[in-house]
A and B are shown apart, each in its own frame.
Chain A
């Protein structure tokens, strides 16, 4: 505790897991008793051990007491491949004991004594009790169990030792241990059709704010990596958004002219069009404008960095050279079962780490596919865009249209699209027995732009845009034609003007 006159402020005990510490607004509170609840296999033991080793790395001491849980030998064998595991921490800094036989012979009173002795004997600032449900089963009455939890809390507070109680136990929100302890963290493993997603939820955290709701996490050889839900983690951008309107080249001079001098910097933009139209090509031209002093990043899901480099080469873009001199970073997440929030955090981290000013995301569809609840995409894109803008990144995100030809020009998601400041539309059309590519700007918020349709080609120099198309109609239907002779109907003409 830190003293300020008579006022005592509880110190934070970081878990050492950045995402979890963010959710907990800095970590657990010293001397607090916290339940970590989850069915078998949800990661409780790994989480607790990861916190233990982090506490040791920060110079602390830990006692880990088990009751009818996995044997210590087996547990340590399972932990050995984890990067946080450091053998030299045991036994001087991290001490594992079993309390089960004491529980059997001396009951809950014996366990309280044991825990108190282990805290004092090892000068532990952190204590883990794995198998907490066994204590409830051993209690002769609910009253005895409450008394046990109360005594444990008193000792933890007096000895300034933070206690983690691991349990498979019930999720009854009114169960006595939940009402008495200082905090409850649920670990869950939810099935979404064929895939599962692990999530963590802080159900209670006395004396502190926390980020509520479910936050996805992953267990890897690094231990738990927690990704606080983007909408809560960046509800307010991490830095103050100071906006100074300026333009940024797209890498295609004619498109810059259409846009009124380039794309508006520090905005989020959609590049919408069917497969093969040239979205990735434009993305490559855009990030190729980056320099080490104003770096760019290509965050893609489809083409591997090797293929992207080869493709860039055909456009006269030396992507590998740009990467070598630190102007561009290519980040590739092969399409698979990703966690939406992980992708959001990776994007923000990539921008923050290098001060990225140009970010091309290829593409939005892969983000949607990673979402276990697509209903949150509008909120997700909105919050992510706010953060990236505040970090001074300009974002162009490719968005694939469902139809290659046809009259429908429906955007993939109306919500997210409406949040974007700019929208560039690419389309195919058929004319004279030839497929032609068209580009138009349909939206630039608070700025004038040329709304004309233009044909473009992909040449060895990249995208080359022609003059505005005149004398054609139904171009956006995908089947352009010469206009029919004017209909001498003044009413029809008048109606058209009103539209």
Chain B
């Protein structure tokens, strides 16, 4: 069973994503901010991270930087999500695989996760 770490400070969003991902057959870990997410990563290495951008204590940009700078985690794909447009985040954010603008449809997220966890054979490794 693949594991997804959902990082978001809004518990309502987390609840929805946990339910949808568990229904789709994933094991789900959660964290309320970037700092908690790093603790979770140390406890259980997930196959993929879905993270919000605007969070207290440590935002999505700092979380991605921390993931990419750690050899143990640097290959974990990260999907960034935010109510802010991607263009507004670009100057502060790098190293994420995909972006979803909130609000989004859950099937779109599931499709994106599936494509990142099971890339077509022809695609070159990241």
Residues of A at the B interface (CB closer than 8 Å) are 65-66, 71-74, 76-77, 87-88, 90-92, 95-102, 105, 114, 117-118
Is the beta-carbon distance between B88 and A87 smaller than 8 angstroms? Answer: yes
Which among A71, A92, A105, A118 is the interface contact of B10 at CB below 8 angstroms? A71
Is the beta-carbon distance between B82 and A91 smaller than 8 angstroms? Answer: yes
A sample of 18 more A-B contacts (CB under 8 A), given A102-B57, A105-B32, A114-B56, is A66-B10, A72-B10, A73-B13, A74-B103, A76-B83, A77-B103, A87-B84, A87-B85, A91-B54, A91-B88, A91-B92, A96-B83, A97-B56, A98-B9, A98-B11, A99-B56, A100-B9, A118-B56
Which among A73, A88, A105 is the interface contact of B88 at CB below 8 angstroms? A88
Per the bound structure, the CA–CA distance linking A55 and B9 in Å amounts to: 25
Q: State the total of A-B contacts with C-beta under 8 angstroms.
A: 63
| Shortest distance from the beta carbon of A81 to any chain B beta carbon, whole Å | 15
Is the beta-carbon distance between A95 and B85 smaller than 8 angstroms? Answer: no
Which 3 A-B pairs rank lowest in CB-CB distance, beginning with the nearest?
A101-B32, A73-B102, A98-B9
Is the beta-carbon distance between A114 and B57 smaller than 8 angstroms? Answer: yes
State which residues 34-78 of B face A: CB under 8 Å. 53-57, 59
B102 neighbours in A (Cβ, 8 Å): 72-73
A66 neighbours in B (Cβ, 8 Å): 10
Give the residue name and chain of the A residue nearest to B12 (CB). Answer: A71
Give the residue name and chain of the B residue nearest to A97 (CB). Answer: B56
Per the bound structure, the CA–CA distance linking A96 and B85 in Å amounts to: 14
B106 within 8 A of A: no
Known contacts A72-B83, A73-B13, A101-B32; A96 and B56 CB within 8 A of each other = no
B117 within 8 A of A: no
| CB pairs A–B below 8 angstroms (23 shown) | A71-B13, A72-B54, A73-B83, A73-B102, A73-B103, A74-B103, A90-B83, A91-B59, A91-B92, A95-B54, A96-B54, A97-B54, A97-B56, A98-B9, A98-B11, A99-B9, A99-B56, A100-B9, A101-B9, A102-B32, A102-B56, A114-B56, A114-B57
B89 within 8 A of A: yes
Per the bound structure, the CA–CA distance linking A66 and B83 in Å amounts to: 15
Per the bound structure, the CA–CA distance linking A88 and B89 in Å amounts to: 10
Is the beta-carbon distance between A117 and B56 smaller than 8 angstroms? Answer: yes
A contact patch SS: helix
B11 neighbours in A (Cβ, 8 Å): 98, 100-101
| Shortest distance from the beta carbon of A122 to any chain B beta carbon, whole Å | 10
Per the bound structure, the CA–CA distance linking A114 and B83 in Å amounts to: 21
| Shortest distance from the beta carbon of A180 to any chain B beta carbon, whole Å | 25
Give the residue name and chain of the A residue nearest to B84 (CB). Answer: A90
Per the bound structure, the CA–CA distance linking A99 and B89 in Å amounts to: 21
B55 neighbours in A (Cβ, 8 Å): 97
A91 neighbours in B (Cβ, 8 Å): 53-54, 59, 82, 84, 88-89, 92
B85 neighbours in A (Cβ, 8 Å): 87
Is the beta-carbon distance between B83 and A117 smaller than 8 angstroms? Answer: no
Per the bound structure, the CA–CA distance linking A99 and B9 in Å amounts to: 7
| Shortest distance from the beta carbon of B24 to any chain A beta carbon, whole Å | 21
Give the residue name and chain of the B residue nearest to A96 (CB). Answer: B54
A87 neighbours in B (Cβ, 8 Å): 84-85, 88
Give the residue name and chain of the A residue nearest to B93 (CB). Answer: A91
Per the bound structure, the CA–CA distance linking A72 and B13 in Å amounts to: 10
Per the bound structure, the CA–CA distance linking A74 and B83 in Å amounts to: 9
| Shortest distance from the beta carbon of B113 to any chain A beta carbon, whole Å | 19
Give the residue name and chain of the B residue nearest to A73 (CB). Answer: B102
| Shortest distance from the beta carbon of B17 to any chain A beta carbon, whole Å | 12
Is the beta-carbon distance between B92 and A92 smaller than 8 angstroms? Answer: yes
A99 neighbours in B (Cβ, 8 Å): 9, 56
| Shortest distance from the beta carbon of A232 to any chain B beta carbon, whole Å | 39
Per the bound structure, the CA–CA distance linking A90 and B85 in Å amounts to: 8
B54 neighbours in A (Cβ, 8 Å): 72, 90-91, 95-97
A72 neighbours in B (Cβ, 8 Å): 10, 54, 83, 102
Is the beta-carbon distance between B88 and A92 smaller than 8 angstroms? Answer: yes
Per the bound structure, the CA–CA distance linking A88 and B57 in Å amounts to: 22
B10 neighbours in A (Cβ, 8 Å): 66, 71-73, 98, 100
| Shortest distance from the beta carbon of A110 to any chain B beta carbon, whole Å | 10
Per the bound structure, the CA–CA distance linking A117 and B56 in Å amounts to: 8
Per the bound structure, the CA–CA distance linking A29 and B61 in Å amounts to: 34
Per the bound structure, the CA–CA distance linking A88 and B102 in Å amounts to: 15
Per the bound structure, the CA–CA distance linking A65 and B33 in Å amounts to: 14
B84 neighbours in A (Cβ, 8 Å): 87, 90-91
A117 neighbours in B (Cβ, 8 Å): 56-57
| Shortest distance from the beta carbon of B103 to any chain A beta carbon, whole Å | 5
Per the bound structure, the CA–CA distance linking A101 and B52 in Å amounts to: 15
